[in-house]
Amino acid sequence: MRLDKFLTECGLGTRSEVKRLIDENAVRVNGTCKVYPKTSINEKKDVILFRGEPITYKEFRYYVLNKKAGFVTAVEDYRDQTVMDLLPDWVVRKNLVPVGRLDKDTEGLLLFTNNGKLNHKLVSPKSHVDKTYYVEAKNIISQNDIKKLEEGIDIGGYITLPGKVEALESKKILLTINEGKFHQVKKMLEQIDNEVTYLKRISFGKLKLDDLELGEVKEVELEDII
């Protein structure tokens, strides 16, 4: 692998940015300080240092985005901007795709990875990964409504699995489900004669949004996810 490609895939920047770092002698290969962008390396055996710190090649990468509304969850779309447009330049995009989906007008936690097996596992209906949403509704959500949401509700030929509801205010709840049917949360609210006015996913499995700002991205490790 070329050194500039390796550095780019390790997240040090774009090809032009890592070329500048190499020209500044910020990178060493096996102790050699004078290297070039096209220098050939063995990413699994050679010792690569960036400003004195070792760089480890990662086959798989995982990123969490606090998605903004107005972006579709897709790698590309002919009509709308996609969540890929929200990713900063330092994100390594090779084979990177979003895990599952969030509606265009929904905000919150969205995971990206190039690990196809993990992606399939997390979105598989058999996995039952917990997803918690902060929900603001048009009308008051009664205790009877909460009971219906928690017991499972018919959303049009399909009865949802039992959910968990934490009431925050009269029109605000935290709703935890472990399915991912199309527009599921919105349909669940419709079935209690209500309407979602704002929706944000705040957790996905072990991952939590915490203090990640809207539109921000952070890299996480596999152990943070499963």
pLDDT at 174: 98
Q: Is 103 a catalytic residue?
A: yes
Strand ranges (DSSP E) for 78-209?
97-98, 107-113, 131-137, 164-169, 172-177, 196-204, 207-208
Residues 40 and 78 reside in one and the same domain: no
pLDDT at 204: 96
The tens digit of pLDDT for each residue in 64-110 reads 999 999 999 999 999 999 999 999 988 888 889 999 999 999 999 99
The number of domains in the chain is 3
Residues 136 and 193 reside in one and the same domain: yes
The tens digit of pLDDT for each residue in 25-41 reads 999 999 988 899 999 99
Of 12, 28, 54, the domain-final residue: 54
Band (pLDDT 50/70/90 cuts) for residue 9 is confident
The tens digit of pLDDT for each residue in 158-205 reads 999 999 999 999 999 999 999 988 899 999 999 999 999 999 999 999
Q: Name every residue whose Cβ is closer than 8 Å to that of residue 153 and which is 6 or more positions away in sequence.
A: 159, 160, 188, 191, 192
Band (pLDDT 50/70/90 cuts) for residue 44 is confident
Q: Give the separation between CA 167 and CA 125, rounded to whole angstroms.
A: 27
Computed over every residue of the chain, the mean pLDDT equals 93
CATH code of 72's domain: 3.30.70.580
User: Which 8-state DSSP code applies to residue 222?
Assistant: G
pLDDT at 22: 92
CATH code of 10's domain: 3.10.290.10
Residue 24: give the domain boundaries.
3-54
Residues 211 and 196 reside in one and the same domain: no
Model confidence at 62: pLDDT above 90: yes
Model confidence at 15: pLDDT above 80: yes
Instruction: Choose the catalytic residue: 4, 103, 105, 154.
Output: 103
pTM for this predicted structure: 0.83
